[in-house]
């Protein structure tokens, strides 16, 4: 069986399951996203260790859990300050040679994936339950569409390398094809999901630029980390897809961009959810 066939056979039921959990919303959705966030953190920490820049073994998960639960728990700021104080106090007395680099890698591993996961959860919480579902599915369909079109566009037309020092197989032609995929994903979400949102296609069009730009950047960041670690995939947990970091790398930057834009147009009165 070809690698592409494996990817499709896994991706279709996985996407259906993800959409079903997104429809349920609430803590069903939050719970699965927090679980995914922890797995991505684990993969990142392992990659960093292979890159000779290890993170603290415990605090990234503590920081990550705090980030992902921040809007939903009482005294969130105070809890975060306690985590910060404890982490700095412990690291101060760490005399290992890599103790300084461990500070930065721990914060990166603790914040990067959880912030992206948090933003997707906040998108799901935007407006009514049905509107939040539509916005979340639109975000994911744009990411998936951009990924698919970028892959086949690069395979068919790719000539000019996008970032050869980071990811030699990515091309400008594939990158630009990704915008088409984002547009297709957005149109499918808006017209196929039977939800009245007060969010017109015109108001949504800038999301194509945001997801189509920041999604690939998230992909390149992961490629840069994997290249430093000398591995092809973040793990082998997903058949034909590598690890969760491989599958959600684009989301980790695209979701914050989408969330900021949604907040922006609401504040300006261009949309009401």
- Tell me the pLDDT tens digit for each residue of 42-73: 999 999 999 989 999 899 999 999 999 999 99
| 116 closest CA partner among 263, 265, 258, 264 | 258
* Segments of the chain scoring below 50 in pLDDT: none
Tally of structural domains, the chain: 1
What pTM was estimated for this model as a whole? 0.94
pLDDT digits (tens, 9 = 90+) for 98-110: 788 889 999 999 9
CB 235 within 8 A of CB 243: yes
Q: Is residue 263 part of a domain?
A: yes
Q: Is residue 258 part of a domain?
A: yes
Q: Is residue 273 part of a domain?
A: no
Cα dihedral angle (116, 216, 103, 90), rounded to 10 degrees?
A: 30
CA 272 to chain centre: 25
Q: Which structural domain range is residue 228 located in?
A: 3-268
| 237 closest CA partner among 227, 229, 247 | 247
Q: What pLDDT does residue 85 have? A: 95
């Amino acid at each position: 069986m070809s690698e592409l066939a494996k990817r499709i056979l896994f991706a279709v039921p996985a996407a259906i399951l993800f959409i079903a959990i997104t429809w349920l919303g609430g803590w069903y959705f939050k719970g699965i996203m927090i679980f995914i966030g922890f797995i991505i953190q684990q993969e990142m920490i392992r990659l960093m260790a292979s890159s000779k820049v290890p993170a603290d073994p415990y605090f990234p998960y503590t920081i990550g859990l705090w980030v992902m639960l921040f809007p939903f728990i009482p005294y969130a700021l105070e809890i975060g300050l306690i985590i910060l104080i404890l982490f700095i106090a412990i690291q101060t007395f760490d005399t290992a040679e890599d103790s300084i680099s461990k500070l930065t890698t721990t914060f990166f591993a603790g914040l990067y994936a959880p912030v992206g996961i948090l933003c997707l959860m906040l998108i799901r919480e935007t407006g009514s339950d049905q509107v939040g579902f539509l916005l979340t599915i639109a975000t994911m369909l744009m990411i998936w569409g951009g990924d698919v079109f970028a892959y086949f566009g690069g395979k068919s037309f790719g000539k000019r390398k996008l970032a050869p020092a980071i990811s030699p197989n990515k091309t400008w032609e594939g990158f630009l094809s990704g915008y088409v995929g984002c547009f297709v994903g957005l149109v499918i979400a808006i017209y196929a999901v039977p939800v009245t949102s007060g969010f017109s296609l015109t108001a949504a069009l800038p999301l194509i630029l945001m997801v189509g730009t920041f999604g690939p950047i998230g992909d390149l960041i992961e490629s840069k980390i994997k290249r430093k670690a000398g591995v092809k995939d973040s793990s082998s947990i997903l058949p034909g897809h590598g690890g969760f970091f491989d599958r959600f790398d684009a989301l980790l930057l695209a979701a914050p961009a989408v969330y900021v834009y949604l907040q922006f147009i609401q504040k300006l009165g261009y949309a009401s959810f």
